[in-house]
Structure 1
Amino acid sequence: MKLTYSGKTKDVYQLEDGHVLLKFKDDVTGEDGVFDPGANTVGLTIEGAGKSGLRMTQYFFEKLAEQNVPTHYINADLDEVTMTVKPATVFGKGLEVICRFRAVGSFLRRYGAYCSEGQALDAFVEVTLKDDDRQDPPISKDGLAQLGILSHEEYDVLKQLTKQISEIVKAEMADNGLDLYDIKLEFGRDPEGSIMLIDEISGGNMRVYQDETYIAPMDLEKILFS
């Protein structure tokens, strides 16, 4: 097992059989000790955060598999806090795809002249480049194509999968009396070149509220699995 990448919230290992092992950490993104799923830096360490994130990720990836949504997931080991996945090739240097159901976070900061905080959005999908130095700039469908990152056809697949996955997560939250405001997803190409969901689905990459009260990631996991 060879360490190939040490990320903010996960370490990535190459396995001898060609698969990849993700080791979840207790580090979460944020600033000044406050959690923020959209932040570009590790803001704090919360004991048990890695296992909590993996438990949610395992649950949602297995739910997506039941609905034949393509993902990189193979299996998970909660005791070791690891997940085995298929190898993936990212788009360019990496993309983040956000599906927004409410106007909050960076969306509100950019477009606040045209909307109010918490205003309902119709599964608004936006794509940003993973680039910490440039604050993860948003990019359009045409921009992705002209820069050779993603074709128009691939963008359409990406958008369709994002909406499908996000609606599945949103429905699960609603069943538990929760409201999904937004969720951040990542995609890549499988060895055959098809688009699949990668990374994780956990409280660390979504904003969830209950009666307009924000639910922290580990509290969210407890609500879902209590």
Structure 2
Amino acid sequence: MRSKTIIKTDFQFPGQKSVYKGKVRDVYTLEDNRLLMIASDRLSAFDVVMPKGIPFKGQILNQIATKMMEKTADIVPNWLEATPDPNVAIGTNCEPFKVEMVIRGYLSGHAAREYKAGKRELCGVEMPEGMKENDKFPEPIITPATKAEMGDHDEDISREDIIAKNIVSKEDYLQLEDYTRKLFQRGSAIADQQNLILVDTKYEFGKTSEGNIVLIDEIHTPDSSRYFYKEGYEERQAKGEAQKQLSKEFVRQWLIGEGFQGLEGQEVPLMSDEYIETVSERYIELYENITGETFKKADISNIDARIEQNVLDYLESHK
């Protein structure tokens, strides 16, 4: 029986120069200054890749990212050229900035854990006293992280350190901050139309060979973002109840409950097929809630062959 998920890829496309395998995406560098990005069904939590894949996850991430790129192209140009397959995106090869631009509208996730530990500053940005988990910040805060290689943890870093260490030039970094705020504003408005709250997210940027800054990777997906349901948010906050979330935080919470937080010496708990099925269903729910569209499952009877054929057809017609 063929696997119904794509966990690893080993393609040889025409004009292929190199392959980089990230936590979730495999990136193939092609000739003609193009990149081909395959969204796998791998699931990463606490910077650890889980042993089993989640059916349709890659398709969901790729298709949400594509829709969101289209809806934000007027704010900042992006790398995307086409999506010849449900799991594949092709676009311009860029030099990535070595920081992820994380922006938070609410005290949730990593920020809430740091706050609970008594910290009132994150990445050089002050967090007000007297906040409860999932409270809204007076203004969204930008808390960048350095990009980690696969298996390493991303690390918080301040604007001052990024500029002082010349990780990004001051001029470019200020532009990244400006784009980040505008993208978050747009993402929040899109979420609001779907009765959702965009809680926090991250953006990645690169520079083209012409020196232009473009948006790369994914945007406003449940892997890169946290969403709350808007309905009932205020009531849950007032009662001190947990918020109803649309993100992979539910996986993180399950892992924490099983005694795993990605720390040294901890073993990844076994995910049963039944649990994986529920995770897949949650991702489909995320897709439909975020986009407002019914999810159409791609043919997963032979994912590798499907991807290869779709990519070859596209490359042949776009020589």
TM-score, scaled relative to structure 2: 0.63
Q: Residue 130 in 1 paired to residue 147 in 2?
A: yes
Asked if the contact 2:75/2:183 (under 8 Å) is kept, the reply is: no
Tell me, which stretches of 5 or more residues in structure 2 are unaligned? 1-12, 119-128, 232-242, 248-282, 295-319
**Aligned 8 A contact 2:148 2:154 in 1:** yes
Percent of residue pairs bearing the same amino acid type? 25
RMSD: 1.8
1:76 matched to 2:83: yes
**AA at the equivalent of 1:207:** R
Q: Which amino acid aligns with 2:53?
A: T
Q: Does the 8 A contact of 2:75 with 2:182 survive in 1?
A: no
Structure 2 contact 37–90 (Cα < 8 Å) conserved: yes
CA contact (8 A) 1:142 1:152 kept: no
The answer to whether residue 122 in structure 2 is matched with residue 118 in structure 1 is no
Residues 129/24 of structure 1: CA separation in 2 closer, same or farther (3 Å cut)? same
Which whole-Å CA distance do the structure 2 matches of 1:218 and 1:149 have between them? 37
Q: Which runs of 5+ in 1 are unaligned?
A: 31-38
2:288 to 208, 222, 225: 222
Within 2, Cα distance between the matches of 1:23 and 1:199?
11
Structure 1 counterpart of 2:80, one-letter code: Y
**Structure 1 residue 162 displacement after superposition:** 0.5
Alpha-carbon contact 1:183-1:205 (below 8 Å) kept: yes
With over 3 angstroms needed to count, the CA separation of the structure-2 counterparts of 1:218 and 1:184, relative to structure 1, is farther
1:188 matched residue in structure 2:
206
Measure the CA separation in 2 of the matches of 1:48 and 1:97: 27
Which residue matches 1:33?
none
Taking a change above 3 Å as real, the CA distance of residues 218 and 97 of structure 1, as seen in their structure-2 partners, is farther
Distance (whole Å) between structure 2 residues aligned to residue 110 and residue 153 of structure 1: 30
Q: 1:88 aligns with which of 75, 84, 94?
A: 94
Structure 1 partner of 2:32: 17
Structure 2 partner of 1:166 = 184
CA distance in 1, matches of 2:60, 2:154: 26
Q: Name the structure where strand makes up a greater proportion of residues.
A: 1
Contact persistence 1:73–1:85 (CA under 8 A)? yes
One-letter code of the match for 2:30?
A: L
Letter in 2 for 1:26: D
**Once the 2 structures are TM-superposed, how far is the Cα of residue 118 of structure 1 from its aligned partner?**
0.5
Contact 1:55–1:78, Cα closer than 8 Å, also in 2: no
Partner residue, 2:58:
50
